[in-house]
Amino acid sequence: MNPVSPMIPDPSDLVFLPLGGCGEIGMNLNLYGHGGKWLMVDLGLTFADERQPGIDLILPDPTFISERRQDLLAIVLTHAHEDHLGALPYLWPLLGCPVYASPFASNLLSRKLEEAGLLDEVPLHVIAAGERLDLGPFAIDFLGVTHSIPEASSLAIHTAAGSVVHTGDWKLDPGPVVGPLTDAAGFAAVAEAASVLVCDSTNVLQPGRSGSEADLRPSLLEVMKGHPGRIAVTTFASNVARIETVAQVAVELDRHVVLAGRALRRNSEAAQQCGYLGDLPEFLSEDDYAHLPPDRVLLMCSGCQGEPRGTMTRVANGSHPRLHLDPGDLAVFSSKIIPGNERALSRVHNDLVLAGVEVVSEKDAFVHVSGHPARDEISELYGWLKPALAVPVHGEARHLEAHVRLARSLGVPEARMIANGDMLRLGPGPAEVVEQVPAGRLLVDGDSLVPEGGQALQARRKIMFNGLISVTLVIDAAGDRLAPPKLSNHGAFDALIEPDLPAALEAAADQALDKLSRQRRRDDDAVAEAVRVAVRRAARAVTGRRPLVKVELVRLDYQVKERKVS
């Protein structure tokens, strides 16, 4: 380490620094440092849940590298999934460097950049699997791998201090449906040089192999054939291979495919522009849905994880303006149930069942295969590369720990479990965490980026769980009341169940004002704080909750002054 510049690695070292995606699934941001320069691999996002009210997207905090943007050579994208490129339109202005991506990823990213008004600003370069990219002290080989989206690549990153294979998302699929097989020869060509493997851990807990997309087609056909009503299939909008599979099944069933959901349509258009999905009948739009006989339609839609705004969710709860399912129709969830989404999906499944719709998920039939490698595939990759050091990423703590144990069982001399913010020296010499840097999260709040622990989100959480009580006091310049306190209740209590509580809270506000000295009554802050504490304490005594209390003072001149909430 350079003692003059903390958190800057020795230029002769090769270091790996994840700022997102290590200890979690999603929100990938990886940095490689060497020769005084940095290379970023992926810049993704994750999606918010009920713990972030009013928030849809969560991004990794790039402060460490944005403060060193003059040394950031480029962002290299392994593939086009949102958890690997989705944060780029939001964070690129903080980084200002070139971006390298496959033709398909570039197509999708261009659309996002155009929406953000950045298309003419971002230097976006197209690079394909099998090509090499030279950037300062880094030479990068792009190795094509199979995934659920076209043109995914692993990266072989070569430096004077050693070489590392960064897998990104991948699998070994003998029948990938869309795109070629994983480039085994390419991995063999870099095996001797690459002593470090930074590897996807998503399915390390799953024994055997992940399964082939080609094997899914006959199973989906078996689930759907003979069904007399409408069929709706929901999957990840980015799963182009699944779009191809389901569309082929629709052809065999003599059904028209209706695509619903903006992301699904956008990804399908990008795939077609890049030469995929070419031998299929034309997809129809939501406007065509009502005009098709029930036994001739196959609706393919987003919302497979129970997302509140997802198409399947809106169909299930009856809020979609053009799409519906009737009793006797079939809904197929052709996707993995991601941990943490069980409750949301259960609500959607129950809404459909109550509407008389038959529901089939991965728990009921073979309707999904993963785009990530299971244990036998991971073991096979280790056999190809024979790394001296394994660094698991793209997984929660249990996945990373299991991956470390697997690597050691395969004879890998060293395996290191690290977390976001750990700067790991990969070489020369033994692996060592040489520094820990801040690695937080940013929330997309409307048009703003705010820290995860920001005051606005904390206030929303408190309101969501405990409600808000507003108290208005009208007093004169001396602090004497000119009218009784006025109370407004926003979810803090149920007046039908606790009818006497409003009067008790108003009395508590009155008493708090009476207890103040004449001098303190002239101090707006002192009055507001005394009333806030008294009302909150009285509410808690009855309800057991701690609602937010907001106090608004109106002096004799009627100037309104807002008080802080807590």
Calculate ∠ Cα 452-55-316, nearest 5°.
145
Tell whether 435 and 464 lie within a shared domain.
no
499 inside domain: yes
Lowest mean pLDDT among 123-127, 263-267, 317-321, 334-338: 334-338
449 inside domain: no
**Residue type (1 letter), 393:** V
Tell whether 540 and 421 lie within a shared domain.
no
**pLDDT of res. 458:** 63
Residue 514: pLDDT above 80? yes
CA distance 566 to 552: 14
148-207: pLDDT as tens digits: 999 999 999 999 999 999 999 999 999 999 989 999 999 999 999 999 999 999 999 999
Token duo for residue 112: 């996002």
Say which residues have a Cβ less than 8 Å from residue 268's Cβ, sequence separation at least 6.
240, 243, 259, 277, 283
Q: Residues 346-355: what's their mean pLDDT?
A: 96
- Tell me the angle at which helices 262-273 and 103-115 cross, rounded to the nearest 10 degrees: 130
Q: Would you list the DSSP string of 51-106?
A: TSTT--EEEE--HHHHTTGGGEEEEE-S---HHHHTTHHHHHHHH---EEE-HHHH
Q: Smallest Cα–Cα separation from 492: which of 535, 543, 456?
A: 543
* Kind plus residue range of the DSSP H or E element containing 426: strand 422-427
Residue 298: pLDDT above 80? yes
Please, where are the H alpha helices in 97-149?
103-115
Residue 128: CATH number of its domain: 3.60.15.10
**Residue type (1 letter), 187:** F
**pLDDT of res. 498:** 83
312-325: pLDDT as tens digits: 999 999 999 999 99
Domain boundary residue, one of 341, 360, 379: 360
**Residue type (1 letter), 489:** N
Cβ 392 vs Cβ 417: under 8 Å = yes
**pLDDT of res. 48:** 61
Q: Would you list the DSSP string of 308-333?
A: TTSHHHHHHHT--SS----TT-EEEE
Tell whether 243 and 98 lie within a shared domain.
no
Buried b (16+ CB within 10 A) or exposed e, 302-322: bbbbbbeebbbbbbbeeebee
By three-state DSSP, how is residue 151 classified? coil
CA distance 204 to 397: 12
CA distance 26 to 28: 6
Tell whether 313 and 395 lie within a shared domain.
no
Q: Residues 484-507: what's their mean pLDDT?
A: 84
**pLDDT of res. 309:** 83
CA distance 356 to 74: 52
Total count of domains within the chain: 3
**pLDDT of res. 502:** 84
Buried b (16+ CB within 10 A) or exposed e, 40-55: bbbbbbbbbeeebeeb
Alpha-carbon distance values, 537 to 427, 495, 523, 532, 534 (Å)? 59, 18, 22, 9, 5
Say which residues have a Cβ less than 8 Å from residue 500's Cβ, sequence separation at least 6.
none
Token duo for residue 286: 């939501």
CA distance 532 to 254: 67
162-166 and 152-159 as β-strands: parallel, antiparallel, unpaired? antiparallel
Tell whether 30 and 146 lie within a shared domain.
yes
CA distance 341 to 360: 17
373-419: pLDDT as tens digits: 999 999 999 999 999 999 999 999 999 999 999 999 999 999 999 99
4 inside domain: no
Q: How far is CA 547 from the centre of its chain?
A: 30
Tell whether 95 and 161 lie within a shared domain.
yes
Lowest mean pLDDT among 177-191, 278-292, 537-551: 537-551
481 inside domain: yes
Q: For the chain, give me the number of helices (H) and strands (E)?
A: 16, 30
Domain that holds residue 346: 213-360
**Residue type (1 letter), 189:** A
Say which residues have a Cβ less than 8 Å from residue 7's Cβ, sequence separation at least 6.
64, 423, 435, 437
Tell whether 161 and 133 lie within a shared domain.
yes
Q: How many CB atoms lie within 10 A of CB 90?
A: 19
Mean pLDDT of the chain: 90
430 inside domain: yes
| Residue appearing with tokens 């999905």 | 277
Tell whether 68 and 181 lie within a shared domain.
yes
Q: What residues form DSSP beta bridges with 330?
A: 231, 358
Alpha-carbon distance values, 321 to 57, 314, 317, 331, 350 (Å)? 25, 9, 11, 18, 20
Tell whether 282 and 140 lie within a shared domain.
no
Q: Smallest Cα–Cα separation from 342: which of 363, 369, 319?
A: 363
Tell whether 334 and 381 lie within a shared domain.
no
450 inside domain: no
Tell whether 505 and 408 lie within a shared domain.
no
CA distance 423 to 408: 22
* Kind plus residue range of the DSSP H or E element containing 442: strand 441-445
Tell whether 196 and 221 lie within a shared domain.
no
Using pLDDT thresholds of 50, 70 and 90, give the confidence band for residue 468. Answer: confident
Q: Smallest Cα–Cα separation from 412: which of 378, 454, 444?
A: 378
